[in-house]
Structure 1
């Protein structure tokens, strides 16, 4: 896909009529359960009871629902109306159509913001920075920001492994590794693929503090996309990622990275 307008149009088509995001996060493979458990533990063990949570790019509410059930006050925003309609059916949190780059909420409305999707659908660094700054704007000073990214190395593996390496090596694959540019021709409306260090730098540029980087699925996640749900595999993968998911280099060998940060407490907000 080309410019951001084309990506935005692709997002509408992909998530409304091509791909079932709800199934990806629940039943599609053993990776689904691994991602769900890790996101909930990385978020749920940090935020205070009864937090006001804004789930930006929250899709059908897979993560919003358990957070609401835990007593948090959740508002979900997603650009795809079909996903918002599905999210509203849960009935335990607010859900509306919106864009991560232009949030309608006043400053300091929430204690927590989740961005699980926007960063890897935005091609330009300026757009990603705008989304991060918007999330920080609507969160109180000292509040939490959780932002997910797709590592460029896992995307390269997805398009290159299991094949005889072509000669010469495709320039598009090199571009992915060098700059995070998505390879052309795929269905997924990708905007950018990160390294952990690049993701950390973007959060720093947005003015966020106390940044941590963690693999969500870890090095077992790629394999678990090929396997059905299995409790023993899930527990083994959780043990591995809990022990290694914070390690530089190793943390990039995952389906998704999570950056965890705080909004500044000593700056105008």
Structure 2
């Protein structure tokens, strides 16, 4: 679908179909692991006091946690229903906005988290535009963090859906070769990355010293299939995620990649 159609699908998906508010909290242990790993990486790079922009911040799960920790936080999201939910928390600023055109002056923030927009943008030019905007509003030396969905995990998730097996071989090859979502996928994805591709896009957008890690590690997919795990199992998943975060190929088995670099 075109980017205009995808933008419309995003509005419907997050306002009417999928509750993003529970994804990082109660939906599965994978969400908890993604949340905790993201928080740890952003906070380690940019300690308090600092001003953080949460781009595509949905209902404010990350923003609320940053605010409690002492950060000054601004959340931007394109879905009005999600912004309204985030605003009700009351500990940070929440406003409508698009990652491709941020309404802030240059050098306004100490850190920018973009956990969502990249995998909803089909064309490389628009992803570079969003990353360039994040780089622009982040102060020199501040950190930009951008999440992406690995195409290997996207392929596995699609392949296990019986309703998607009717797609042609060209569709499957398009996903593996180019990161193009398989048609009829419920999730309004625009693109799925390889780690090298994410690093290259961030670098081409002017972000320096970029590193890409696997967030949830090789246990993330398993954690997404269960409602609860023991403390020991969760600790083991955390250890796997930390141990293999930078390991080539293994990081592709995480549910999400996170690229980090300096503006």
Q: TM-score, normalised by structure 2?
A: 0.96
Deviation of 1:37 after TM superposition, in Å, equals 1.1
State the match for 1:209 in structure 2.
208
Cα gap change, 1:107 to 1:167, in 2 (>3 Å): closer
Partner SS state of residue 45, structure 2: coil
1:3-58 deviation line (CA, Å, top 9, x unaligned): 00000000100000100011111111121111111111111122121111000000
Partner SS state of residue 219, structure 1: helix
Cα distance in 1 between the residues matched to 2:161 and 2:235: 27
State the match for 1:266 in structure 2.
none
State the match for 2:239 in structure 1.
239
List structure 1 segments (4+ residues) > 4 angstroms apart after TM superposition.
166-169
1:144-166 deviation line (CA, Å, top 9, x unaligned): 00000000000000011487xx7
State the match for 1:126 in structure 2.
125
State the match for 1:57 in structure 2.
56
1:122-143 deviation line (CA, Å, top 9, x unaligned): 0000000000000111111111
Deviation of 1:187 after TM superposition, in Å, equals 1.5
Cα distance in 2 between the residues matched to 1:167 and 1:148: 30
Partner SS state of residue 220, structure 1: helix
Alignment root-mean-square deviation, CA: 1.6
- 2:169 pairs with 1:178: no
Contact 2:75 2:92 (8 Å CA) reproduced = yes
- 148-157 or 166-175, which deviates more: 166-175
State the match for 2:135 in structure 1.
136
State the match for 1:103 in structure 2.
102
State the match for 2:219 in structure 1.
220
State the match for 2:253 in structure 1.
253
Cα distance in 2 between the residues matched to 1:8 and 1:125: 15
Cα distance in 2 between the residues matched to 1:71 and 1:94: 14
5+ long unaligned stretches in structure 1 = 264-269
Cα distance in 1 between the residues matched to 2:228 and 2:74: 29
- 2:22 pairs with 1:34: no
Cα distance in 1 between the residues matched to 2:130 and 2:213: 20
Cα distance in 2 between the residues matched to 1:216 and 1:85: 28
Larger helix share, 1 or 2: 2
Contact 1:33 1:234 (8 Å CA) reproduced = no
Contact 1:33 1:229 (8 Å CA) reproduced = no
Cα distance in 2 between the residues matched to 1:117 and 1:126: 17
5+ long unaligned stretches in structure 2 = none
Q: TM-score, normalised by structure 1?
A: 0.94
- 2:196 pairs with 1:197: yes
Equivalent pairs counted in the alignment come to: 261
Partner SS state of residue 45, structure 1: helix
Cα gap change, 1:178 to 1:97, in 2 (>3 Å): same
Deviation of 1:169 after TM superposition, in Å, equals 6.8
Cα gap change, 1:42 to 1:190, in 2 (>3 Å): same
Deviation of 1:170 after TM superposition, in Å, equals 2.0
Contact 1:153 1:177 (8 Å CA) reproduced = yes
